[in-house]
Structure 1
Amino acid sequence: MKRYLTVVSLLLLCGIQSIKANVVLPAIFGNGMVLQQKENVKVWGKAKLNANVLITTSWNNKTYTVKTNASGNWKTTIATPTAGGPYSITFNDGNKITLSDILIGEVWLCSGQSNMEMPIKGFGNQPILNSNDILLDAEEPGVRLFRIEKNMSRTPVADVTNKWEHANAVTVKEFSAIGYQFARMLQQKLKVPVGIIQSAYGGTDIEAWMTKNSLTGFTDFKTPADSAKVIKNDPAVLFNAMIIPIIGYNIKGVLWYQGENNRMNPLTYAQKMAAMVKEWRTQWATNQWPFYYVQIAPNVYNDHKEEIPLLYEAQAQAMTLIPNSGMVVSVDAGSQTTIHPPNKTIISKRLAYWALAKTYGKEGIAYMGPVYKSLKITDDKVILSFDQIPTGLTAFDQKLKSFEIAGEDKVFYPADAAISGKTVVVKSESVKKPVAVRYAFKDNAVGNLYNVEGLPSAPFRTDNWDNTKP
């Protein structure tokens, strides 16, 4: 009898606690957050069962009412004004909680593997260029940071444990060098608050960031047994743990830097990128927000060297498969000693060019470098033509490098290349009857062909031969 009364008492206590429970919000909704401006932004959480939750926004003193379901879950939208703040939002189901220091502005998500994860403080013996100078200017109230801790799961994870942080030398030091600098540049140029969400994990395959549904039809990846230990490159485990908890939070766009881990299966990479982006956009149930990404940089790879150029090619192809996307080229910003190039500022800036020109409509800003269009063979010379060169080509007073030329034997030789008007003329004494040209089409080849606007050409080839053998 005594035991029965104890159990009843515990159940009653739990019931009372449930009745008195405050509104519970996901971690992404918190003090100091940035909400996307001029939108009906989604808000959700838990509260008392079958109760009304009153949501009051300080920017217009409007109150929204939403009813919880039998499980206590609720979801609604609230209208945000033009950029500004700080504001507050009050949630009341009989017990009131208030979020304060809220800014309205632009929100971006940055994701991928280690080159996106790499913080301003750098990695061991691997610096970020000018990191201390970046930290000198880090204290900016108009930039807010939300860094998701690395995690993995075979099943969907409901929430994370992180919080929004102000930008200062201490918080910025730990944040993505690319993500933070992109946000800071937008904040300076748009003159509005910017929130940046980091969800990145070094050494990871694209398959781990995809859903099992979006991987349907692909066979070139390992599917572990359900009883196997979870590892970070299992399909969908990063999507489940590091993307699902923030799905629905209104964002302006996504930045992506990943690919090195897929150098062993590059031929399906473009299609996987397209499938991943399509699924993410579907899950967000919103318009096709922009997806801007970085082509991997040159490096001396120890394995799968021949596949690296094919990955370059796949990443370039992805732009034709993914609507509202753009690729940053880093062929001139790599490193011969580390897979983590120190100059993240130039990459952030090139991502910002895409965003400012294409997303925010800033006219006059170039965002793409020369794109190979066609070739013409004249005697022992190959003449290459390009798109995206309104004012022409340049190598900034340097000799063009990393061009190769081949004849019908498919053997490539180093070539002399020179700019002639809006074309590049390529030749070699070793090839009298040229057939094909390649530019920076090796794992460690550095390129220096730019348009006059200062943006580089991506690695390319004019042939479609098997890259792994003559």
Structure 2
Amino acid sequence: MKLKLTILLNLACCIIASATVKTASIFTDHMVLQQQSNVAIWGWAKASTKVKIITSWNKKSYSVTADQNGKWKVNVATPSAGGPYELELNDGEKLVLTDILIGEVWFCGGQSNMEMPMKGFKSQPIIGSNEAILKSANKNIRLYTVPRSSIMERQENSKPSQWKIAAPETVSNFSATAYYFASLLSELLQVPIGVINDSYGGSSIEAWMSPEDLKAFPEVKIPAKGDTIKEVSRTPTTLYNGMLYPVIGYGIKGAIWYQGESNYERADRYEDLFPAMVSSWRKNWDNGEFPFYYAQIAPYNYAQLPPYYIGGKFNSAFLRDAQRKSLNKIPNSGMAVLMDIGEEKSIHPANKKQGGERLAYLALAQTYGIKGFGALSPNYESLTIDKNKAVIKFQNVANGLTAFGKELSLFEVAGADRKFYPAKAAITGSSITVSAEQVKTPVAVRYAFKDFVVGDLFGNDGLPVSSFRTDDWDN
């Protein structure tokens, strides 16, 4: 009897393993699907074959016919957070995905500061990560990494990968920024959290944009079919083709983004490229103006990097300012400011917890409606001149500004000659008054507008003020 049962079980396993119906790589056991939504599921079967999908959470059955290329796609309704559940697919042979949770799903994109794993890069540690990794086991946090792929032609599917349950071994190798973001969401929301890490170290924003997006930027050379990819992470459209396009449409609540370091020399264009990218993603995802929160790049001495540019526009403060201005161009967005954790000699700040949790603050406040805590950094609003003094007003300063007892030392002021001088700065509640003996009639003010600097101005909740300038001068 036992032998007969074993034979039957083995036969069933073989049937499942050889099922002709396949899902896209991002649909695997242990995945999280966005709650209370109609999420897309897609994959391939034999051309013109009917595929039946059954969702165990409501026993509902869906039917779809694969097109002439074998591709099929269907939207399924999801309930409130819960699980585990199963998803059964059948085209005459059965495929079952198991241990599926329903909860909140976030897409996490960018370059190396998003990609940097909890264990750190070689000889580049992450502060406190060892203990965080040790305590990371959590069945309600699920992690997915889209494998690297830089390619000229748009791919229908990404390289194989697996959704993984949070545990020391899996968390150790997963994006630190995304993990800290997910961990705080899990703690506060008490629902399953799924995070998709889709990042590539050293990548430029142009690599994450489609040819259609880049037509508005004639200075960007869009590679033609057959061209050689000279820089795998910086060739326009190639990461969009291999890593983004294949997963666009997966049901998400929103996105977080940490990128900009590779565009610091082209800050003027980033101010237009970045909002264009977000707008395109939202359009292609067909999920409305989903929340989009991003980390402002941290201060760092970029003159250390080839081709060793110094001065003028080769100052990452211009890129940070482009990101700051993008807040007004990207609806339903927020920016996590990292002015206090940059490192002069490392482009990868070791304090990833601050960055990940500040992104989570934005989501918890603006997406999930939690009130009573600080989530937004104070942001420059306006400049007024009072004789020889300049007065700076800020947004998001309900409880005032602070330097935590230290003297403000990072303000500069200029007159009509456009020469900036170090300025005395005083906090007056929610404003800053700035002056310098050399400037009788101020015209412009800058704060922390250096390549590397450690911010010294904060909101009363401890969130740092972004570097900013009131002028639009070229250098």
TM-score (normalised: structure 1): 0.92
User: Which residue of structure 2 lines up, in the alignment, with residue 390 of structure 1?
Assistant: 398
1:347 aligns with 2:355: yes
- Determine the C-alpha separation between the residues in 2 that align with 1:299 and 1:396: 23
Aligned 8 A contact 1:306 1:443 in 2:
no
Task: Kindly provide the amino acid, as one letter, of the partner of residue 385 in structure 1.
Answer: K
- Determine the C-alpha separation between the residues in 2 that align with 1:311 and 1:69: 45
Deviation at 1:224, TM superposition (A): 4.3
Of 190-199 and 312-321, deviating more is 312-321
3-state SS of 2:241 partner = helix
- Determine the C-alpha separation between the residues in 2 that align with 1:305 and 1:138: 43
Task: Kindly provide the amino acid, as one letter, of the partner of residue 318 in structure 1.
Answer: S
How is 1:10-409 mapped onto 2 (pairs within 5 angstroms)? 21-159=19-157, 160-224=159-223, 226-230=225-229, 231-232=231-232, 233-302=234-303, 303=309, 305-307=311-313, 308-409=316-417
Q: How many pairs align?
A: 449
3-state SS of 2:98 partner = strand
- Determine the C-alpha separation between the residues in 1 that align with 2:409 and 2:51: 64
3-state SS of 1:273 partner = helix
3-state SS of 2:265 partner = coil
- Determine the C-alpha separation between the residues in 1 that align with 2:296 and 2:145: 23
1:466 aligns with 2:474: yes
- Determine the C-alpha separation between the residues in 2 that align with 1:211 and 1:451: 38
Task: Kindly provide the amino acid, as one letter, of the partner of residue 419 in structure 2.
Answer: V
- Determine the C-alpha separation between the residues in 2 that align with 1:304 and 1:202: 23
- Determine the C-alpha separation between the residues in 2 that align with 1:156 and 1:48: 22
Aligned 8 A contact 1:274 1:318 in 2:
yes
Task: Kindly provide the amino acid, as one letter, of the partner of residue 205 in structure 2.
Answer: I
User: Which residue of structure 2 lines up, in the alignment, with residue 14 of structure 1?
Assistant: none
Deviation at 1:25, TM superposition (A): 0.8
How is 1:3-14 mapped onto 2 (pairs within 5 angstroms)? none
Aligned 8 A contact 2:107 2:252 in 1:
yes
Shift in alpha-carbon separation, 1:163–1:460, aligned structure 2, 3 A: same
Aligned 8 A contact 1:210 1:235 in 2:
yes
3-state SS of 1:358 partner = helix
Deviation at 1:427, TM superposition (A): 2.1
Task: Kindly provide the amino acid, as one letter, of the partner of residue 381 in structure 1.
Answer: K
3-state SS of 1:306 partner = coil
User: Which residue of structure 1 lines up, in the alignment, with residue 10 of structure 2?
Assistant: none
- Determine the C-alpha separation between the residues in 2 that align with 1:304 and 1:312: 17
- Determine the C-alpha separation between the residues in 2 that align with 1:434 and 1:69: 67
Deviation at 1:306, TM superposition (A): 3.2
Deviation at 1:305, TM superposition (A): 4.5
Aligned 8 A contact 1:264 1:304 in 2:
no
- Determine the C-alpha separation between the residues in 1 that align with 2:118 and 2:285: 29
- Determine the C-alpha separation between the residues in 2 that align with 1:251 and 1:457: 30
Of 112-121 and 223-232, deviating more is 223-232
Q: Deviations 1:24-48 (Å, cap 9, x if unpaired)?
A: 1111111000000011111111223
Aligned 8 A contact 1:306 1:442 in 2:
no
User: Which residue of structure 2 lines up, in the alignment, with residue 4 of structure 1?
Assistant: none
- Determine the C-alpha separation between the residues in 1 that align with 2:177 and 2:228: 32
3-state SS of 2:228 partner = coil
- Determine the C-alpha separation between the residues in 1 that align with 2:445 and 2:66: 64
Shift in alpha-carbon separation, 1:466–1:252, aligned structure 2, 3 A: same
Deviation at 1:304, TM superposition (A): 5.4
Of 358-367 and 304-313, deviating more is 304-313
3-state SS of 1:264 partner = helix
Task: Kindly provide the amino acid, as one letter, of the partner of residue 191 in structure 1.
Answer: Q
- Determine the C-alpha separation between the residues in 2 that align with 1:58 and 1:212: 40
User: Which residue of structure 2 lines up, in the alignment, with residue 8 of structure 1?
Assistant: none
1:439 aligns with 2:439: no
- Determine the C-alpha separation between the residues in 1 that align with 2:208 and 2:170: 25
- Determine the C-alpha separation between the residues in 1 that align with 2:77 and 2:223: 44
1:422 aligns with 2:421: no
Deviation at 1:166, TM superposition (A): 1.0
Of 222-231 and 89-98, deviating more is 222-231
Deviation at 1:61, TM superposition (A): 1.5
Of 288-297 and 399-408, deviating more is 399-408
3-state SS of 2:54 partner = strand
- Determine the C-alpha separation between the residues in 1 that align with 2:311 and 2:298: 13
Aligned 8 A contact 2:53 2:87 in 1:
yes
- Determine the C-alpha separation between the residues in 2 that align with 1:51 and 1:312: 51
Deviation at 1:226, TM superposition (A): 4.2
3-state SS of 2:131 partner = helix
- Determine the C-alpha separation between the residues in 2 that align with 1:410 and 1:71: 62
Q: Deviations 1:170-217 (Å, cap 9, x if unpaired)?
A: 111111110111011111110000010011011111100000100112
Shift in alpha-carbon separation, 1:70–1:216, aligned structure 2, 3 A: closer
- Determine the C-alpha separation between the residues in 2 that align with 1:378 and 1:372: 18
Aligned-pair identity in percent equals 47
Task: Kindly provide the amino acid, as one letter, of the partner of residue 125 in structure 1.
Answer: S
User: Which residue of structure 2 lines up, in the alignment, with residue 12 of structure 1?
Assistant: none
Task: Kindly provide the amino acid, as one letter, of the partner of residue 273 in structure 1.
Answer: F
- Determine the C-alpha separation between the residues in 1 that align with 2:277 and 2:422: 38
| Structure 2: gaps (5+ residues) | 1-14, 304-308
Deviation at 1:283, TM superposition (A): 1.4
Deviation at 1:53, TM superposition (A): 1.8
Shift in alpha-carbon separation, 1:462–1:50, aligned structure 2, 3 A: closer
Deviation at 1:77, TM superposition (A): 1.0
Aligned 8 A contact 2:342 2:453 in 1:
no
Aligned 8 A contact 1:401 1:447 in 2:
no
Task: Kindly provide the amino acid, as one letter, of the partner of residue 64 in structure 2.
Answer: V
Shift in alpha-carbon separation, 1:135–1:305, aligned structure 2, 3 A: farther
Over aligned residue pairs, what C-alpha RMSD do you find? 1.7
